[in-house]
Amino acid sequence: MTYYFESGWSYAFKPIFIRNNRRYELKELPCTTSECLVRILREPPDELVQFLEVWDYWYQKYQKKPTLRFPYTVSFIQAIPEWIIRKGELYGFYDYFFMNEHAFELTKYLIKRFSDGCKRLGAKPLVLILNGPYQLNHIRDTGKRWDRPLLMFLADSNVPFVDSTQFIMDKYISKNGFDSLGKPQGHFNADGNRLIAEALVAYFVNQNESMVPQKNISMDRP
């Protein structure tokens, strides 16, 4: 049922970059107050809908859904192919990192934008690589990582990154795979988040940049 009742995020306030003449342009948000957000969610203005129809991937995807109508059994059957794809994405069987041909190019642009911005501020950029518990099981079983092109790009661009995926796979051993690190929807639970934190601590310790005294750092699970 959630497949048919999730339109709220279609108008979510999120940065949208559009590509124009090989250059990315950041579009301004339609408004910046909670009152405006409520008003737009209730009755989206025509110009916003037209913009989303042209530029927003998720809005376009939502518009292609079959209509939920009587007889409802038919609607549920129509939703099965998409449900299978979503389950496959959740469990790492399909590429959920880059949803279309433009996604990877935009990702590279955003990383470069972030890195350049950090340098202008006198800060050091750091990218954290995450794969959920179900994806970790798939990587363990097949050896295939959908994010490998991203790892190669980061290395070639000399952008520092923490590969929490490899850290967890090297450190955490369980007969049940990585399911015990996650919640039903695929997010990490407290144990999984702790391993992510350990991966970050290990990076800073190795880089001699941690502000936490090393004697207080425990890398062992209780």
pLDDT, greater one: 71 or 194: 194
91 contact partners, CB below 8 Å, separation of at least 6: 134, 135, 137, 138
Count of structural domains within the chain:
2
61/144 same-domain check: no
pLDDT, greater one: 98 or 8: 98
Q: Indicate whether 63 pLDDT > 90.
A: no
The H or E element that residue 95 is part of is none
* AA letter at 109: Y
Show the tokens assigned to 51.
Answer: 């913009």
pLDDT, greater one: 169 or 70: 169
Q: Which domain holds residue 144?
A: 103-216
pTM tops 0.85:
no
Give mean pLDDT, residues 168-188: 80
Q: Please tell me the predicted confidence (pLDDT) of residue 192.
A: 92
Q: Does some domain include residue 95?
A: no
Q: Does some domain include residue 96?
A: no
Of 32-36, 86-90, 94-98, minimum mean pLDDT range: 86-90
